Amino acid sequence: MGSPSGFEFAVRGDDAVIRHHGVSAAVLRGARASEFLAEVAQGDPQLLMARLTGNYRRGNERTARQHPRNAR
């Protein structure tokens, strides 16, 4: 599985807007926006934004679907 990419964020007042390939994916407000900005400064911003938007599960869905346990 590759590392996430294509994320960017912008700060508007007290809000943080996260975009994925130019499309708005999430808007963080208030305390969560402040926490996000602090976390971006400390770690990998692409991974953090992918986890916050739910866009981090890529690559193994097809394999899981074909597993005998998941067959219908």
SS (H, E, C) the chain: CCCCCCEEEEEECCEEEEEECCEEEEEECHHHHHHHHHHHHHCCHHHHHHHHHCCCCCCCHHHHHCCHHHCC
Convert the pLDDT of each residue in 28-48 to its tens digit.
999 999 999 999 999 889 989
Residues of the chain with pLDDT under 70: 1-2, 55-65, 71-72
pLDDT recorded at residue 43? 84
pTM of structure: 0.71
